Amino acid sequence: MLTFKDLGKTKICYPEPPIYSEEACWHSQIGMDSFTPLWSLTESSLLDGLRIGISISDVPSSGFSENHIPESQSARFAQDLARHLLARSATLVYGGDLRKDGFTEFILDEAVALKSRLNADQIHVENHLAWPIHKTNMEIVVWRASYSGVMKTIEHSIPDDIACAVDRDNFLPPSTPQNKYFWSRCLTEMRLKSIDSSHARICVGGKLFGYNGKMPGVLEEILIAIDKNKPIYLMGAFGGVVGDICKALRGKAYPDALTETWQLTHNDGYVDLQEIARTHDMHADYDAVKTTLVNINVPILAATAGLEEESYIRLMETPFVDECIHLIIQGLKNLSSKMVKKERAGS
């Protein structure tokens, strides 16, 4: 690097990932400006104050035949996204997936790397847990504790409408239709509160079956975010729930997987869950879901996310992780700028 300086070169472009402040400060001390294709030191506090929700989960391995994207692509996206958001001082808001080698662990490992390099005390990851997930086995409790230095855990309480029907102090397995209903209510409560506490939401993948809520989790989170007028970023090329939603938004045939008939056919016990939930007016209304999705105005969706319509459509279509991250950062940068101006106007 000193050789470059002697030759009069003061800028050096590194490959990804982002260069964290500790290393960049060393470069600046010798008069070098270091950056990567997606990051520069001037962006270290770009997203400071922004709380970014992340909705991401696995898609079936069979999705490769349709989307031509390997299973590992979603994990790579989670890691790279966390790295870029944390490097810009954003707070990540995430719910669930308390598994070793799950998406939470991918995100937390990036937070650990950032903290060790910056020697910082700030915690920029929040993991929101619905009851009874935070009452799970001791192995997971110990695993959570190992990340306490970088993760703040928010344990959500039981909704009032079912609080008297369960033992709040013990784990409840989703092994009966009634128990599944309790789980669905608690997951909805957690999602409502965590999304309400965030400024924007990034969505990718999502199970279409094999979930424990009232509907596919990523689908519910997107619908809540839309209802609360939160900016959302949709990566459709990765398949899953988000892939089907993007098809609907782009005017293609409405996906069967987002209909009640398909969900009842592909999820054991879902008929019973819907019947119980319907008696409390807490069921998944797939007709309302369709009405919401097919009537979304993409230009408004893009503007809310801080992007031009053309860029937002590209975000829904591109399978390239780096391009997705570039577009997301571009939108969040515009949102952050608007938020700062609003705060200054109010002060």
Q: Summarize pLDDT for 42-81 with one digit per residue, the tens.
A: 778 899 999 999 998 877 655 545 656 666 677 788 888 9
- How many whole angstroms separate alpha carbon 36 and alpha carbon 42? 12
Q: Is the peptide bond before 255 cis (omega within 30 degrees of 0)?
A: no
Q: Summarize pLDDT for 7-48 with one digit per residue, the tens.
A: 555 666 666 666 655 666 656 666 666 667 555 667 788 999
- How many whole angstroms separate alpha carbon 303 and alpha carbon 330? 12
- How many whole angstroms separate alpha carbon 132 and alpha carbon 155? 9
184 Cα distance to chain centroid: 19
Residue (of 322, 335, 334) closest to 18 by Cα position:
322
Which domains, ranges and CATH numbers included, belong to the chain? 1-44 (no CATH), 49-346 (3.40.50.450)
Element holding 205 (H helix, E strand): strand 200-205
Is residue 199 within 8 A of residue 54, CB to CB? The reply is no
Q: Summarize pLDDT for 274-312 with one digit per residue, the tens.
A: 999 999 999 999 999 999 999 999 999 999 999 999 999
